[in-house]
């Protein structure tokens, strides 16, 4: 399957995931507010976070599937910035809500809402199975990570439903408060991971993958001697920078043909590689340039 088709299909899956999550979350949020259930409202806010990330990642993969020579690939940094801002906004609102809405002497969430929470968990589990299947066919890490996330969300929904049962049977509203904080702590954990990855994508941090780097060097060896290879993050995607030493007797025509071939071949190594830059230096100068590159 060609890389752009894999990216397009993955973006479609994420859009569907985001839409299903958002639709159910809106219902959950409305009922949580109507029945003054902090637990159900918390679960809904977590759902908003999931939907936002799915949409942002989906748009990123969609644009990656449409990239061409004139495409401004630096725009992929916007994906990371939007991820960071959306998660920060949801986390901020969630923190404010907890600080102003916790009531240990309040009424427990109606028992029938366990069905709402369990239904949400069931939908999430089905989405997890679907994404795991999609990952096995498309082999995109972003789907694998999202599938794992959905699996954890299923467990959280079960914990929330159990807290409602305990709260009603034993008149122990504290059980719901504990469940709310468990969800909040998981959202904090999610935020820390997303913030870290988003920051890496914004600043263009180095991406370490020895296997991928070795494949790139093997491809560049046809052009000349690979002196330096760097893989940098660009949002959720990668940019490859390389420096190659070539023999002075190589003609311009052959040099251009081999460089073009190497760029195309490297771009096909991984569907998330959106740009490949190969700089050429004569072999007699390669050691001096390579030393400067490593220092940089």
Answer with the one of 203, 226, 247 that is the final residue of a domain: 203
Across the range 71-79, mean pLDDT stands at: 69
Question: For residue 215, what are the contacts with CB-CB under 8 A and spacing of at least 6?
Answer: 269
pLDDT at 290: 53
- Same domain, yes or no, for 93 and 119? yes
- Same domain, yes or no, for 181 and 130? yes
pLDDT at 80 over 70: yes
- Same domain, yes or no, for 103 and 62? yes
- Same domain, yes or no, for 105 and 189? yes
| CA 182, 142, 66, 228 torsion-angle sign | positive
- Same domain, yes or no, for 193 and 50? yes
pLDDT at 258: 94
Distance (Å, whole) CA 227 – CA 62: 34
Distance (Å, whole) CA 81 – CA 198: 7
pLDDT tens, position by position, 86-95: 888 888 988 9
- Same domain, yes or no, for 34 and 157? yes
pLDDT tens, position by position, 153-192: 899 999 999 999 999 999 889 999 999 999 999 989 988 9
Q: What's 255's domain CATH number? A: 3.30.70.1350
- Same domain, yes or no, for 224 and 167? no
- Same domain, yes or no, for 185 and 63? yes
For helices 113-138 and 38-65, give the axis angle rounded to 10 degrees: 20
Domains contained in the chain, number: 2
Answer with the one of 203, 229, 246 that is the final residue of a domain: 203
In terms of average pLDDT, the best of 138-142, 143-147, 156-160, 284-288 is 156-160
- Same domain, yes or no, for 69 and 38? yes
- Same domain, yes or no, for 99 and 130? yes
Given phi > 0 = left and psi -120 to 50 = alpha, else beta, which region is 171?
left
| Average pLDDT of the chain to the nearest whole number | 85
- Same domain, yes or no, for 54 and 179? yes
- In the chain, the N- to C-terminal Cα span, in Å, equals 37
pLDDT at 2 over 70: no
Long-range contacts, stretch 146-154, CB < 8 angstroms, 24+ apart: 146/14, 146/17, 146/53, 146/54, 146/57, 149/50, 149/190, 150/124, 150/125, 151/125, 152/186, 153/46, 153/50, 153/121, 153/124, 154/121, 154/122, 154/124, 154/125, 154/128
Q: Percentage of the chain surpassing pLDDT 70?
A: 90
pLDDT at 219: 96
- Same domain, yes or no, for 199 and 262? no
pLDDT at 169: 93
| Separation in Å, CA 213 to CA 207, 216, 233, 238, 244 | 10, 5, 14, 12, 14
pLDDT tens, position by position, 228-286: 999 999 887 899 999 999 988 888 899 999 999 999 999 889 888 888 999 998 876 54
Per-residue tokens: 145 = 């990570």
Domain that holds residue 226: 210-295
Answer with the one of 166, 188, 203 that is the final residue of a domain: 203
Distance (Å, whole) CA 60 – CA 86: 15
Question: For residue 179, what are the contacts with CB-CB under 8 A and spacing of at least 6?
Answer: 39, 159, 160, 162, 163
Per-residue tokens: 130 = 């679907």
């Amino acid at each position: 399957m060609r890389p752009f088709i894999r990216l397009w299909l993955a973006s479609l899956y994420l859009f569907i995931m985001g839409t299903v999550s958002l639709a159910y979350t809106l219902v959950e949020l409305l009922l949580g507010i109507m029945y003054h259930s902090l637990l159900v409202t918390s679960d809904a806010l977590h759902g908003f976070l999931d939907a936002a990330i799915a949409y942002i990642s989906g748009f990123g993969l969609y644009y990656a599937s449409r990239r061409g020579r004139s495409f401004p690939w630096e725009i992929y940094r916007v994906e990371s910035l939007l991820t960071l801002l959306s998660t920060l906004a949801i986390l901020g609102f969630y923190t404010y809500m907890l600080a102003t809405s916790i009531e240990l002497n309040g009424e427990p969430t109606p028992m029938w809402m366990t069905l709402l929470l369990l239904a949400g968990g069931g939908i999430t589990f089905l989405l997890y199975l679907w994404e795991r299947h999609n990952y096995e066919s498309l082999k995109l890490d972003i789907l694998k990570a999202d599938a794992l996330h959905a699996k954890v969300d299923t467990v959280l929904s079960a914990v929330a439903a159990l807290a409602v049962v305990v709260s009603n049977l034993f008149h122990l509203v504290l059980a719901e408060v504990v469940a709310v904080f468990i969800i909040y702590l998981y959202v904090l954990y999610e935020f820390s991971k997303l913030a870290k990855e988003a920051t890496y994508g914004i600043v263009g941090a180095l991406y370490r993958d020895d296997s991928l780097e070795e494949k790139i060097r093997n491809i560049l060896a046809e052009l000349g001697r690979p002196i330096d290879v760097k893989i940098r993050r660009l949002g959720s995607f990668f940019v490859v920078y390389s420096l190659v030493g070539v023999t002075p007797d190589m003609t311009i025509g052959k040099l251009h043909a081999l460089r073009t071939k190497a760029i195309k071949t490297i771009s096909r190594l991984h569907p998330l590689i959106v740009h490949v830059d190969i700089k050429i230096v004569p072999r007699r100068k390669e050691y001096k340039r390579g030393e400067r590159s490593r220092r940089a």
